[in-house]
Every structure is written in structure tokens, then in C-alpha cells.
A and B are shown apart, each in its own frame.
Chain A
């Protein structure tokens, strides 16, 4: 029977092509506008690691004197505090992190060095954020304490330097120091880059990952603004903050235990005379931290509301046009009813027709969404271009929304079209 409904719908749509086209275009524009904004919103607000983000936390300690807390607790820790937390081993997995930029020196001296961006982390980083590996694994030494010159590289860098092949054992010259490749990760581009929100939350993932201890040993300065001066000795002190720390607490009781530890640590620092006041300490869950960082601008949220409002207007237009379309076939409907079609059959037929209209509007709407995202891409900074990508999930959602919304919009017109009495129209 569904095939029969589809054939009937096709006949009906082709019978009045102009009206059919009007309905499709009206709905497609609403779909295109709303899904363009939604696609961007989804990327910006999405939790890139939803299966695990509830277990990931950022410990923060505000060492500023009272009266300097207007802008909330700073996200970065000093080297002293980060190492104290690292060595306390309150949780099973944790990592310090900071971003760095180096020059990749090619083997061929006639070629120019390439600017590459990476992060300095402990090996636990790859466990914390479920980083997938194509070749090899994280460096073998626990926390990289021996300062080994090893490196894990990203897929893009591996493709560029080694043609995508297994490059384990190869060496990279970064700022004059040779690092041995021990791992190559797969295509990994979480959006936003939760682990490094403070440094360009959207964009490509880093080119390389080296042990935190190795980076400190080589005195590699962090990339981006910090509260530190250029002197490396100051960075190793207790005042300037430049390190982000991530910990994993798998249960609420583990998280509470860590909070208690932070509070105790703050009190201990005061007792040891480092501060004359009690420093604030907090443990922020990854999701709360995303929210706090306002990754999604207010303008984007407002645009989303307006875009779906526009879709509603387009669907109302669709309702009116479908009413005109279905009710203009009163005579045919009466004939079908006279021949034995129940109201349910007629209703179902009209609803399938609405579904077909929705499917066609979905295809056109998808095209308009792609155009909209391309337009947005031309307006946004290059590092934000990633948020305008049309993901397979959004493609599916666009099509599904078009069909669902049009079928819902078609409910009333279908019902009105089905309540035609067979006798009135059949009289001659």
C-alpha cells in the first residue's frame, strides 16, 4: 500500500508543478537557514568526548591576593603547583599541558624550516582524551620523567613528511633537537578542542606531542600569552601561571576526594607561609568548564533561535500551500472515497505526499545549507573555518528534519483533505 501511496503522491506532485515547487522552495529555505546556523552552533557547543567528559576535571588554584578575583579563578597553574599535583598522584591518570611552537628543520638544507604547533603533555594525556593511534603508542616511560627526546606526531604531519606510511623510528629535527617518532595518531580533530580551550578552541589539532618533562628540560617556552616574563627560571617558580592540568576522576567520590585534596593543599600552602591568605581552589568538570568559557557566543545562540523561527514561518506557509493543493482535489478525493477509500486511506495518501515534499525540500535544503556554510566560511577567521564543515551527522539531520517537519505541517491539510464526503461531489 505504501508503494501505491508513493505512486499517487508522484502523480499529484507532477500534476501541479508550480504549486509543488513553491511548497518545496518555501520549506527548503527554512531548512537551509536553520541548519546552517545549527551546524555552526552544534560544532561550537558540542562536547567532543561526551562519553567521558563527566570524568575529566581541571583543578584550579587562585594564588592572587584577595581583591583580585573579579574575573574568576585563573585556569592555569604555576609550575610548582602543577608539579605538586602531579607528584601527589591522588588520581590514576592526570597530565599537565602547555602549547608550544617549534620549527621543523628539514633534512634537505635547501628547504625552509616549517612552523609546527604542538603540546607538551604526560603520556596519560592520550588515555584521558582517548586519542586513537595509527602506528605505535604513547612513549613508554611513565610520565616521560627521563626527558627522552621522543615524539608522537599527528596524521597531517605524518602524511606531509612520510607520505602517510609507518614512520616509527624516524627522527624529526625540532628547533635543532632530534626527536624519535614513537607514535602516529589517526585523524583526530575534536571540536571544540576541549583539552586546549585557551589556545584557539577550534581548528586543526596539534602537529606533535612531546613529553612534558622533555619540554621543560629543553626550556621550550609556552606559546601564547601567560603571566610570565621571558626568564625561564621564573617559569619554574610559584608565581607565574602557564600550565593547564587535567585529571580523571571516574566516580563522584573520586572527584570529591580530589576536591578535598585541593582544599587541603591550599591550606597547606598558606600554613607554609607561601600566602598570607587562603587561596581559592576548585575542581571544574569539563562540561562546566566549556559552559564557563562561553565557547558558544551569545550571538550564535540568538541566531539559532531566529533561524528556527524563520523555519516555523516557512512551515506555516507550507501548511497553507498544502491546504490549497489538497483541497483543490475535492472532486478526485470524493471519487476515491466513492470507490471505497476510507478516510484513513485518503489521509495516509496525503501524508505520504507531504513526506515526499519534505524529502525533496530536504535535498534542496541540504544544498542551501552547504551554500550558507560556505558563505559563513568566507566571513569567519581561518582558524574558525572548521566550525563550518558539513558533517555527515548534520546531513542526516537536515534531511530528517525536512521530512519530519513537513509531515507534521501536513497533518492538518491531510486531515482536511480526507473529510470530503463522497456523495456531494459525485452528484451530477
Chain B
């Protein structure tokens, strides 16, 4: 589903060259739930942005659902992003003066779906996250957890091949966070491929597999201290969907 091979992202100034990601290789299979962990500045968000085709990379190869994205132009990347990827951001990133329904519907407009099809998908997505009764409300009228659910519905409405979540519970209290994570796990059980970036080891532990990044590279688990491993990623024994 998501394959990066020797991928590097370099930020260059006149005097300095910084590797946000260095020779990064990862393979996320369809139906997997993978957690990306690492300290601040390790490259987690850069990885997620590249995975979400929000940023370009300097070298290497990246294939999303079999499509090589390296030489795509901006319009092609936008369309691929719209069709294949659903985003869940830490700050929800809803548009405040659009209703819940309009927020969830937004990416479907860019796909030029017919009005009836859009309505069906939005209604279904809101039902899956339990917010059917709030479709006419505005984000400012919702709690943090509800806003994140709207964001999840927005991601689901496009029927993406993969969900990318960047600290989805970072702005939520613990109880609400548990609720949102429960929803994400439900989506995984229903067959969604999920890549989730988090600082929280408890959140990370709920994934099938963890990938730990330090200084732009995947590190061996023994460096985390205490957990045995032999590969650059840890596979946690969880039931497959």
C-alpha cells in the first residue's frame, strides 16, 4: 500500500544541509495499523507529509497504492491525495464557518462527485462516527472530541485507501482521547489501513506495528531500551482485522 525505498528529505541553506529523513525505507501493507513514534524533530511529521504527498522529497522512491509519486506535478499530486488519502490532524483543521456537513463534504467537491453521491457519502460517514444529529452544527459548537470525529468523518467520506493521522488525540483530554482511539481501532477492524504518528507510547501500543524514528532514520528497538527486537520495526502481536 505505502512503500518508501531509500527516501531522503534534505533541507539546504547556503551553509547547512539538514536531513529530515535519511535513506528511509518502510512498507505498510493493506489493512495494517502502524504507529510512528519518535522524539520531537525526529522527522515523524516530515514522513507523514511526504506519505500524504503534502511535501516533495529529495531522493529515493515512494509508491502509494502502486503509483510512483516522484515525478508527478502539483495537480496530479492533489488529485491522488484527494482519491487515496484521508487525513486526521492534531488540530482537527476544520473550516470554522462551514457546517459539519459542509466540512465533511469538502473533499468530495474537489472530486466533482454528483450532489446525490456526496450526500450519501457524508451521511454514511457521519453515521459511522456517531454524529448524524450534528450535521447542521458548526465546529465552534462542538467539543474537541466531536470536532475530531468530524475530521475522521471527513477523512472517511472520500473512501480513502489509507488514513494518515498526526497526533489525533494530542489536543484531547484522556477520556475523549480514548473514545477517538476506539473509533480509529474500529475503523482498522473494518479494514482501513492506518498510519498514526504519536508521542504517546500508550497510543502507539494500540497499533499492530510500531516504527520508531530518530534523526530521520528508523532505529533498532534495542535503542528504545529494554524491548527485544531484531528488525528496524517492531511487530506487535495483535489480531489481524
Beta-carbon contact of A426 and B89 below 8 Å: yes
Write out the residue numbers on chain B whose beta carbons fall within 8 Å of the beta carbon of A332.
Answer: 95
Q: Does B27 contact A (CB under 8 A)?
A: no
CB 8 Å contact bits of B70-92 with A (1 = contact, 0 = none): 00001100110111000101110
Write out the residue numbers on chain B whose beta carbons fall within 8 Å of the beta carbon of A423.
Answer: 49, 52, 54-55
State A338–B106 Cα separation when bound (angstroms): 11
Q: Does A134 contact B (CB under 8 A)?
A: no
State A428–B89 Cα separation when bound (angstroms): 8
Quick one: closest B residue to A344, CB to CB?
B75
Q: Does A336 contact B (CB under 8 A)?
A: yes
Beta-carbon contact of B75 and A428 below 8 Å: no
State A340–B53 Cα separation when bound (angstroms): 10
* Cβ contact of A340, chosen from B78, B90, B93, B170, cutoff 8 A: B78
Beta-carbon contact of A340 and B55 below 8 Å: no
Among listed B30-38, B107-115, B223-231, interface-contacting one: B107-115
State A15–B140 Cα separation when bound (angstroms): 14
Chain A interface secondary structure, helix, strand, loop or mixed?
Answer: helix
Beta-carbon contact of B91 and A338 below 8 Å: no
Write out the residue numbers on chain B whose beta carbons fall within 8 Å of the beta carbon of A345.
Answer: 110
Beta-carbon contact of A1 and B109 below 8 Å: yes
State A343–B52 Cα separation when bound (angstroms): 17
CB 8 Å contact bits of A417-428 with B (1 = contact, 0 = none): 000011100111
User: Interface residue count for B (Cβ, 8 Å)?
Assistant: 31
Write out the residue numbers on chain B whose beta carbons fall within 8 Å of the beta carbon of A69.
Answer: none
Q: Does A11 contact B (CB under 8 A)?
A: yes
Known: A340-B111, A342-B78. A426 touches B95 (CB 8 A): no
Beta-carbon contact of B54 and A343 below 8 Å: no
Beta-carbon contact of B87 and A428 below 8 Å: no
Beta-carbon contact of B81 and A340 below 8 Å: yes
Beta-carbon contact of B97 and A338 below 8 Å: no
A334 shortest CB reach to chain B, Å: 9
Beta-carbon contact of B170 and A1 below 8 Å: no
Kindly identify, within residues 1 to 32 of chain A, every residue whose CB is under 8 Å from any CB belonging to chain B: 1, 4, 11, 14-15
A58 shortest CB reach to chain B, Å: 63
Beta-carbon contact of A340 and B98 below 8 Å: no
Quick one: closest A residue to B95, CB to CB?
A332
State A339–B109 Cα separation when bound (angstroms): 10
* Cβ contact of B93, chosen from A4, A15, A426, cutoff 8 A: A426
Beta-carbon contact of B166 and A428 below 8 Å: yes
Write out the residue numbers on chain A whose beta carbons fall within 8 Å of the beta carbon of B55.
Answer: 421, 423
Quick one: closest B residue to A11, CB to CB?
B97
Beta-carbon contact of B54 and A338 below 8 Å: yes
Write out the residue numbers on chain B whose beta carbons fall within 8 Å of the beta carbon of A4.
Answer: 109
B159 shortest CB reach to chain A, Å: 13
CB 8 Å contact bits of B100-126 with A (1 = contact, 0 = none): 000000110111100000000000000
B217 shortest CB reach to chain A, Å: 20
State A340–B52 Cα separation when bound (angstroms): 11
Known: A423-B49, A426-B49. A339 touches B87 (CB 8 A): yes
User: Interface residue count for A (Cβ, 8 Å)?
Assistant: 23
Kindly identify, within residues 385 to 428 of chain A, every residue whose CB is under 8 Å from any CB belonging to chain B: 421-423, 426-428
Kindly identify, within residues 122 to 165 of chain B, every residue whose CB is under 8 Å from any CB belonging to chain A: 154, 158
Write out the residue numbers on chain A whose beta carbons fall within 8 Å of the beta carbon of B154.
Answer: 339
Write out the residue numbers on chain B whose beta carbons fall within 8 Å of the beta carbon of A421.
Answer: 54-55
State A421–B74 Cα separation when bound (angstroms): 10
Q: Does B176 contact A (CB under 8 A)?
A: no
CB 8 Å contact bits of B155-194 with A (1 = contact, 0 = none): 0001000000011001000000000000000000000000
Beta-carbon contact of A343 and B75 below 8 Å: yes
Of the listed residues A343, A345, A426, the one surrounded by the most CB atoms of chain B closer than 10 A to its CB is A426
CB 8 Å contact bits of B58-74 with A (1 = contact, 0 = none): 00000000000000001
Write out the residue numbers on chain A whose beta carbons fall within 8 Å of the beta carbon of B25.
Answer: none
Write out the residue numbers on chain B whose beta carbons fall within 8 Å of the beta carbon of A340.
Answer: 78-79, 81-83, 107, 110-111, 158
Write out the residue numbers on chain B whose beta carbons fall within 8 Å of the beta carbon of A337.
Answer: 78
State A423–B110 Cα separation when bound (angstroms): 18
Beta-carbon contact of A338 and B170 below 8 Å: no
CB 8 Å contact bits of A356-393 with B (1 = contact, 0 = none): 00000000000000000000000000000000000000
Write out the residue numbers on chain A whose beta carbons fall within 8 Å of the beta carbon of B98.
Answer: 11
Write out the residue numbers on chain A whose beta carbons fall within 8 Å of the beta carbon of B54.
Answer: 338, 421-423, 426
Of the listed residues B55, B112, B158, the one surrounded by the most CB atoms of chain A closer than 10 A to its CB is B55
* Cβ contact of B91, chosen from A1, A343, A428, cutoff 8 A: A428
B47 shortest CB reach to chain A, Å: 12
Q: Does B3 contact A (CB under 8 A)?
A: no
Write out the residue numbers on chain B whose beta carbons fall within 8 Å of the beta carbon of A426.
Answer: 49, 54, 87, 89, 93
Q: Does B45 contact A (CB under 8 A)?
A: yes
Beta-carbon contact of B75 and A342 below 8 Å: yes
Q: Does A220 contact B (CB under 8 A)?
A: no
* Cβ contact of B78, chosen from A11, A341, A428, cutoff 8 A: A341
B85 shortest CB reach to chain A, Å: 9
Write out the residue numbers on chain B whose beta carbons fall within 8 Å of the beta carbon of A128.
Answer: none
- Residues of chain B at the chain A interface (Cβ within 8 Å): 45, 49, 52, 54-55, 74-75, 78-79, 81-83, 87, 89-91, 93, 95, 97-98, 106-107, 109-112, 154, 158, 166-167, 170
CB pairs A–B below 8 angstroms (12 shown): A1-B112, A338-B87, A339-B87, A339-B107, A340-B79, A340-B111, A342-B75, A342-B79, A422-B54, A426-B49, A428-B89, A428-B166
Known contacts A14-B97, A421-B54, A423-B54; 17 additional CB pairs below 8 A are A4-B109, A11-B97, A335-B93, A336-B95, A337-B78, A338-B87, A339-B81, A339-B87, A339-B110, A339-B154, A340-B78, A340-B81, A341-B78, A343-B75, A421-B55, A427-B49, A428-B45
